Each structure stands twice: as C-alpha cells, then as structure tokens.
Structure 1
Amino acid sequence: MKSSWKFILGLTVALTAILSIMMTAFSMPAVNSGIHQVPIGLIAPDDATYQKLATPLKNKGFKVEQYQSINTVKDQVDQRKIYGAIELSNTGDVTVYQATAASSAVAQALNQIGTGIVDQQKVAGTKQLALAAQQAGDPVMLKTINARMTTLQAKQVKVVELKALPKTDSKGVGLAAGALPIALGGWIGSVAIAKAVKGKWQKFAAILCFAMIGGLGLIAVIQFGIGTFDGNYWLTSLGAMLGIAATGFFVLGLLEVIGNWGLAIAAITLILLGNPLSGLTSAPEMLPSGWGAFGQLLPPGATGTLLRNLAFFDGHATALPLLVLVSYVLVGMLLFKLGNKSEI
C-alpha cells in the first residue's frame, strides 16, 4: 500500500518541526550565552567601595553578594552557592578567588574582571603620578614618583584557586564533552535493549544492568582515561548509574506506552534539548534566562551537575539533581508497568 499525500505532508511538517526545535535548542544557547545572574561574591574594605564595584557587575548580569571574609567565600563555594569572588583590599590589591571545577567559563570571566579592575587602577594611578611628576621640583621626590610608577605598572591581579580541576584536564573538557554521550549514549542503549531483548521483565533487568555497568564504564573513562575527575570513583559511579537509569527507564517507559513515537519524544527531551541546555560547557546561569534552569530539569543537565558536585564539591547541592533523576526513574518505571508494547 502506497503512502498517501496527506501522510507525506504530515510527516514532512513533523520533521520540519523537529528540525526547528533542534536549531533553536542548539543555536539559542550559543548565540545568547553570557552572564545571566551568575552568583559571585565580593569582599570590599567598606560599603562605598562595595557599591562602586558591585553596580557595574550587576549591570553585566552577575548576582553579587557582599562577604566579610574569605572563609565565608570558601564555604559558599563549597556549598555551590557562588562560583567565586573578587576581593579588593585596603591597599587596593585585587584578588580573584575562582573555582574552575565549578565552571571554567565563569572562572575566566572573573579573571577578566579582576584584570579590568587592575587596569583601571593603573590608568588612574598613572595620571596622578604623571601630574605629581610635573609638579615635583625635588630630584628625590621625582625618583620616588618614578619608583611608584614602576611598581604600579608591574601590579597584577592575584588569582587563588579554591576548587581546581585535575592537571590532566585543567579546563574540564572531558565533562563538557560528556553532555552528548550522556544523552545520546543513554538513548541508544535504551533503544537497543528495547528492540533486542525479548520479555518485559527481561528488558527491566537489562536496563538495570546497563545502568550499573554503564555508570562504572562512563566514570572509568572520565576519571582514568581522560583525567577529568580525581575523587571517589565508586561514589561518582553511583551518580552516573542513576543518570543512566533515569534515561533508560524514561525511554523504555515511553516505548511501552506509545511505541515508536516514544523514541521521538525521548530524542527531543534528551538529545535535542537536554544536551545543549545541560550547561556542562559553561554553567546553567550562562545560558539564556530560563533555559539553564530548564536544562537542569532534564536528565543530561541533572546528571552532569550531580557528577560535578559529587566529584569536586563533596556532594553539596545534589538534592535537586537527585530529585530530578529519581523522578525520571520512577515515572519511567510507572510508564513501563502501565504499557503493553513489550514486543515492539
């Protein structure tokens, strides 16, 4: 039986819609990425200096909080409340406290801000010293001014790393590149199990085995192969297992309820949306407003954040990604139980 023109037209419209979703999901984060309420800290010697520094930072899109001590900053970074901080001392020295493990992109942005502050100090100080040199009649005073000018020009921002990535992958490329394998690999594995394994509960067991073995294998590659992680391998592997289980049961459940159309829904959710909105290449707060938060509610984003926080931040701020992933597991299991297309 030949396909009708109506069917062909409907199919092409549906494929065009999918293509549009793909273009939107991949292009919007790239085009509109930037600073969107990225939380950082600021330590200043007084309120006036804080306001002077905080106002332009807030105008750039940062969410700035004032702190009184570096110990508080370290605690907030550890708990994933902020990405780092900038300190301006009483003497005008600038220190950037960064956490590259949280986001290398934000760490780079903080470095640029710190460098910009120092450059402004150099410009202002040079003008003052040049004026003083013109007015100086004493050779000793002129020599002192020249020495201060030399010291000023040599001034640099001090960078303190609070949470570094391993030297083998100092920019976190392995985790950033892992967004697509997490999404696509879980989808492909689930589809392969759904198609190749016969028997409903056999598929259920296969997904569990895939999650356990796949989690161990994924973290082994990231930690021992690429060198992005250097924490507790077994604990981080448990996080990867949960992420794969969330993807696997979600795909399997959709297939059991609506058949092959479930593959399209899963692909859109996990790959077309989940991959570019995961925030693994930068930070969720550097995606367009709202998109980053939405990406954290999808398995790739939740899995990436869970792995990052388990590997580098002692398990802090894992409540949300755990809740998201467990929810996908439970919903997928429920759909799997209700469905009846196990022999598709």
Structure 2
Amino acid sequence: MSVQSRIARLVPGPHRPALVVTLIIAIFAALFTASYSLAMANPKPHNVPIGLVSTVVTPAELKAALAEPPTTTFLVSTFPSTPDALAAIEDQRIYGALVDDGTAGTLYISSASGDSVARLLEADAPVIETRLGHPVTVMDTHPLSPNDPSGLVLFYVPLAAVIIGFLGAVQTRTHATKLTLRGELGWDAVRSVVAAFAIVLTIGVILRLMPLPFFPSWGVIALTMLVAGMTYNVFRMLIGARWALLPTWVVFVLISNPASGGAVAPALLPPFYEFIGRWMPTGAAVSAIRDLAYFPGHVHAEPFIVLGIWLIVTTGLYVTFRLYRYGAGAPGDVVNGAIRPLATR
C-alpha cells in the first residue's frame, strides 16, 4: 500500500483528530524549543546600564575594559558620589558601578537585579584590574538568598503562577459546568487566592527559598494567576473550549515566560524579548516580586499597573462575551464542550 493511500485512509476516518493534534503538538514543540533557546541559550549583553564614580577613569576606559567579547555593549553613566551610584543600583536604574580613585577601585554589583549580569561584571573584574593597573574589589550590594544562589526561584514562582492560573480555569470550567457568571468569577478569585497562598507559604515560609514578604507577594501571585485564568476564559469564549488552551499557551509559555527576565536578566535578552517582557504578565510578576523581595524601599508601580490593566481588560472581555452568549446564568451549552460560535446564541 502506498504512502498516499495510507494517508487517505487515515485522514477521513476516526484517526483524523489524532493526526491533527499530533501535527499541532509537533509545531508547538518546535516553537517552544526555539523560543526558550533564542531567549536563554546564548545571552549577550547589549546596552547594559552601569555607573562610574571617578575623576581619573573615563567612561570610555571603563567600556574598553568591559568590552569582552566585542559584541558586549555597556552604557556608562557618571555619578558625583558613591551614595548616588548606590542609590541608582537600589532603584534598579543600573546593574552595577565602579568607584575608583586612581589607586584602588570597588566594583559594586547587584545579584538581585540580575544574577547573569552580576556574574558577567564579576568575571570582568580581573580585566578591569589589568587595564587600570590597580586592585579592584567586588562587592554585592543586593545578594540573592543563599537558598537560591542563581535567582531561579524568582523565575519559577511566576511561571508556576501563570501555568496553574490557566490550568485551574480549564479544570474549573470542565468539571463545574453549571456555574453562573457570578459563580465562575467567584471561584476564579477563590482559586487564585488559595493557590497563591500555598505558593507563598511553601516558598517563603516553609522552604525559605527567597525572602518573600507574605501579604504583598500573596497579592501579586494571586493577581498573576487570575490574569492567566481570565486570558484563557477569553479565548474559550472566542474559539471554544476545545482549542482555547493553545493561544493561552502561546501567550504565556511561548512569549511571556521566556521574556520575563527571571531566568536571564532583561539586558541579556534579545531585543524583542527585552521589550515585550515588561508588558507581559509574567515579566510584570517577576519585576513586582523582585522589588518586594530584594528592593522593598524602591518598589516600582509599573509592574502592578501592567498586571492591573491585564486583569481589567481580560475580565471585561470575558464578562462581555459571556453575557452575550449565555447571559448571567449557567451556560448549559458548555456541557461536553459543545460551545456555539460567538456569532450565534
């Protein structure tokens, strides 16, 4: 039997759904591998902001000392004093700073701002010493938790939040098909709050993997979970329960997570990932949790605004589509995935 005849037998028969799923999974497997590999496999510093406090070392000299390999680029800003440079590190406007008086220098780094950049600067300290001709001491102003020396927990916590967030929405609507709109929204909120509590309790209190302030971190993680679940809910209303998980997976797993800046500092990500990461839910969650855990005196509003906008938009869209299709009552047509197209009632 020829290959064409075998395909012809498979496609029209009961094997067609399995064939379609297999092809889609193969495509998504390739996209998943490519996305994470492009973002994290070969991080290259570009336009990394650092500071300089010195009357004898020029920004050009510092850039020359750090220009290994040649593709590495740094943006050097001068500061009038050491406290000014340290304040810029605290505010996460720069990743590190060299303070040099011509006879000795101190290279301040901040592992919590980005462990990958901190390790890069620390590795360049011997080169700086050689170029300047005097000792340079490395000091970490914001070290990571000793139980998380690579800072990966900062990546895993938001990653878990978004995945559990949309999978929780999937399971709730699969097994609780008779909920009203109010019931659906209520359980979305309760599920997010309970699961976020479990994460913070486990990571911050029991295992002590990183210094999570309990209530603020609980709120950020719950908000992230709720955003992920609401995003799935929107796609479920638009294209139906059968395929809604795929675009949700694209938004969070293929785009938002590798661009988050949790595993690799934003300054080391490719330009596309660096730009989009701060506006995606996972990137906003990483920034918010980093601020709360390691920079409590300099918490930025931007990640909270980003998460808030995502929640308002996705919830508004979901409620609008849900009311249009089923009203506020229980959507009986959802049973067994038999969801009508948006254009029909």
After TM superposition, list the pairs within 5 Å mapping 1:191-230 onto structure 2: 191-197=170-176, 198-199=178-179, 200-230=181-211
For residues 100-146 of structure 1, the C-alpha deviation after alignment (integer angstroms, 9 at most, x for no partner) is 11111111111112222124456xxxxxxxxxxxxxxxxxxxxxxxx
More helix by share: 1
CA distance in 2, matches of 1:190, 1:298: 19
Give ranges in structure 2 of 5+ residues lacking alignment.
Answer: 1-9, 338-345
SS at match of 2:271: coil
Q: Is the 8 A contact 1:95 1:114 kept in 2?
A: no
Q: Is the 8 A contact 2:115 2:150 kept in 1?
A: yes
After TM superposition, list the pairs within 5 Å mapping 1:278-317 onto structure 2: 278-314=260-296, 316=298
SS at match of 1:101: helix
**Alpha-carbon shift at residue 320 of structure 1 (Å):** 2.4
Q: Are 1:4 and 2:12 counterparts?
A: yes
After TM superposition, list the pairs within 5 Å mapping 1:311-330 onto structure 2: 311-314=293-296, 316=298, 318-330=300-312
Identity value in percent: 23
Residue 108 of structure 2 corresponds to which residue in structure 1?
97
Q: Is the 8 A contact 2:43 2:268 kept in 1?
A: yes
Q: Are 1:174 and 2:174 counterparts?
A: no
Q: Decide which moves more: 238-247 or 307-316.
A: 307-316
After TM superposition, list the pairs within 5 Å mapping 1:77-226 onto structure 2: 77-91=89-103, 93-121=104-132, 155=135, 157-197=136-176, 198-199=178-179, 200-226=181-207
Q: Is the 8 A contact 1:86 1:114 kept in 2?
A: no
CA distance in 1, matches of 2:156, 2:207: 11
For residues 250-284 of structure 1, the C-alpha deviation after alignment (integer angstroms, 9 at most, x for no partner) is 11222133212221110111112222221201211
Residue 125 of structure 1 corresponds to which residue in structure 2?
none
Q: Which amino acid aligns with 2:98?
A: I
**Alpha-carbon shift at residue 72 of structure 1 (Å):** 0.8
**Alpha-carbon shift at residue 315 of structure 1 (Å):** 6.2
SS at match of 2:113: coil
For residues 267-305 of structure 1, the C-alpha deviation after alignment (integer angstroms, 9 at most, x for no partner) is 111112222221201211211112122122222221111
For residues 163-184 of structure 1, the C-alpha deviation after alignment (integer angstroms, 9 at most, x for no partner) is 2223333332322333532332
CA distance in 2, matches of 1:246, 1:203: 14
TM-score (ref. length: structure 1)? 0.80
Distance 1:11 1:193, change over 3 A: closer
CA distance in 1, matches of 2:169, 2:46: 35
Q: Is the 8 A contact 2:32 2:254 kept in 1?
A: yes
Residue 257 of structure 1 corresponds to which residue in structure 2?
238
CA distance in 2, matches of 1:96, 1:222: 32
SS at match of 1:184: helix
**Alpha-carbon shift at residue 318 of structure 1 (Å):** 3.0
Residue 54 of structure 2 corresponds to which residue in structure 1?
44
Q: Is the 8 A contact 1:243 1:299 kept in 2?
A: yes
**Alpha-carbon shift at residue 336 of structure 1 (Å):** 1.5
SS at match of 1:68: coil
Residue 76 of structure 1 corresponds to which residue in structure 2?
88
Q: Between Structure 1 and Structure 2, whose CA radius of gyration is higher?
A: 1
CA distance in 2, matches of 1:11, 1:191: 18
Aligned alpha-carbon RMSD (Å): 2.6
Q: Decide which moves more: 187-196 or 167-176.
A: 167-176
Residue 340 of structure 2 corresponds to which residue in structure 1?
none
